[in-house]
Every structure is written in C-alpha cells, then in structure tokens.
Amino acid sequence: MRRIRAAVAETPGAPFTVRDLDLGEPRPDEVLVRMTAAGICHTDLGMRDTWPGRLTPMVFGHEGAGRVEAVGAEVRGVAPGDRVCLTFASCGACEQCATGHPAYCLHARTLNFSGGRADGTTPLSRDGTPVHGGFFGQSSFATHAVVRERGLVPVPADLPDEVAAPLGCSGQTGAGTVLNRLRPEPGASLVVTGAGGVGLSAVMAAVAVGCDPVVAVDPVPARRALAVELGAKAALPPGDGLVAALRDLTGGGAHHVVETTGRPEVARQAVAALRPRGELALLGLGGEVTFDVMPLLAKGVRVHGVIEGDSHPGRFLPDLVGLWRRGLFPLETLVTTFPFEEIGSAVRAMEEGGVVKPVLLFD
C-alpha cells in the first residue's frame, strides 16, 4: 500500500478535489505507473456529472502518461523505468479483441465503467474505506495508478509528456476515425463538426492523408483559426446557411463528415451536407438522434458509430507517434498545461472554451 494524491469526485457532479488516498500494489497482471501527465476530456466531466451515486467517491481521468514503477509477476511487455501512454481497457480474449477491434470489447463496460476491477474490487482506499476507480481502466487523475498491462502502450523517450497523454483517447479517437474507419482517398473532401481535441485530431489526420478540402465547423473563433492553422482549407461557424456553404466548399457535398459534438441537430446537418454515398462518423456522446430515412436512402449514406477511433492502441499509437515525428500530427498545438493541483482551474478553462486540451502535469 502506498500513499498517493488523487482528484476525487465525492458525489455525482461534485468538483474534483485533490485528496490523499491509499493505492494497493499491482496484481500479477497489473502495472504500477507514476503519472507524469493526464489530459482532461469532456468525457471526464460528462461522466462525473451523471455517475451513479453508489459508485462514489470516484477518481476519473483517462488520458494518462507516465513511467512504470513496478510490474506484476505475469507482466512481460513493460518494465520499471519505461515511459508509457495509458489507454482504455479491453479483455484481449473476446471476438472483438481477437479480431483487432478492442474498442468494442464485449466486456468494455465492466472493465472501464464499473468503478473498479472486473471482480468488483478497487485498488484505491481512504482510511480503509474503498474509493472507486478504474475509469477507462486507469483513473489517471492521480499521482499513481494501477493498470492492467493491456492498457499500456510504450512510448519513446523524446515524446513530450503533454503529447503522450492525449494520444490515449482524444488523439486516437479523432485520428483513428479518419485513418482506421473512414480511410479517405487523397483528394476526398472531409468536414469535421466540433473543433475540440477530438475534432482537431481528425482535422490533422485528414490533412496528413491528403484530404482536400478539409473543413471545420465550430462556434469559437479561436478554434476555427487553429483549424486553419492546422491545414483546414476553411473553418465556419454553425448557423443558418451552413449546409449550403459546406456543399459549395466541397463541390456538391462532402465525401465524409466527422461529427464530434453529439448534438442531434448537427448530426442532421451533417447528413444534409454529404454527397451521394457519403459517410458520416458519429463520435460525440449524446442522446437520441432522429433522421428522415428518405434522404439516407436516396443518397446511399453510410452512418458509422465510432469509439476510440476503432483503434488497436498497441498498433495505432506508434503510427500516430510516427506522424508526430514527421510534423504531420502536431498534437502539442492543442495543449495548455496546468499543475495537477490546479485541476479546478484547468476544468474551468476548458468549460469556458479558452483551452482546447488541458493537460495536467505532475511533479
């Protein structure tokens, strides 16, 4: 057992409060990681606000990066001192994992969203009372985490911590949707709705593979400007006339639209902005979306639901690091860093729209 610091949500919707907790030692298939950085994602906030009260107090965080401090007896892929990126948990044995699609692991809910391990235990406690964790298999809003080996991807020594952290979720979600699922041809038009961390990762990936034009849609002028800086040919605000403008920019309709906002009205606009046989990828967490079936049928539209970019992290994250080395995936341009103890300020900055991807740095 070791004493750590963690940002705890004491009840559903409560602010993150940094507390002293105790963390158990890793089991045979687990790894103890000392966190060096952790990205904050809108999913952390949305899940905190809707998290079941019976699973609180809870430690969130799912974009961790750090160094391995200790490994269980069965761990072979990493060793103490290795730098690692933390990502979502998967079982490795079900049909989806076995065929290279662990984001759709049949046991994903238990492994990522149950408030602990698959057997119902949690490695976290306070004064002998369990504290829930295991969010996305990690709970990286903490100085240390115990993670199953499958949730770790080794990263090179020269990759900055603030770049390594977002790779595990927002980076691979946006880029993976483009590169793993849509797989656009060079010259294909691609629209991204929502220029947050996920959306701008999709923009960078689309530019990297030669999509033309790449167009971003976002209400925040600074984010639109950043999308253009990253290679988008245009960046438009939402509102009246958007669909017509997108059709004009893409020569009659986009080949692909990546929808990251989770807003039903934006999803419907995305369908209207597609050309015949165009493809819509839905990434944003949201509620029910209704479509008029006739336009879908008449245009032959394909609708994809995508989690984590349909990524196999151990294979895909090294590809993203390769793009980063070539200057084609400059994830650092999205990042603003904050000390871990200032997590409240980081959350406010993201909620106010002034920061795209806040990343917490640990001493």
Separation between Cα atoms, residue 77 and residue 100, nearest integer Å: 18
Q: Of 258, 308, 266, nearest to 286 (Cα)?
A: 266
For the stretch 84-98, pLDDT in tens is 999 999 999 999 999
Q: What is the pLDDT of residue 26?
A: 97
Residue 2 has pLDDT above 90, yes or no: yes
Separation between Cα atoms, residue 31 and residue 315, nearest integer Å: 20
Average model confidence (pLDDT) for the chain? 96
Separation between Cα atoms, residue 308 and residue 319, nearest integer Å: 15
User: Which residue's entry shows tokens 């979306």?
Assistant: 289
* Strand blocks (E) in 26-78: 30-39, 58-59, 64-71
Q: What is the pLDDT of residue 14?
A: 96
Question: 174-307: CATH homologous superfamily?
Answer: NAD(P)-binding Rossmann-like Domain (3.40.50.720)
Separation between Cα atoms, residue 273 and residue 257, nearest integer Å: 8
- Are the folds of 2-154+330-361 and 174-307 the same? no
The residues spanned by each domain of the chain are 2-154+330-361, 174-307
Cβ distance 356 to 330 under 8 Å? no
**CATH says 2-154+330-361 is which class?**
alpha beta
What is the pTM assigned to this prediction? 0.95
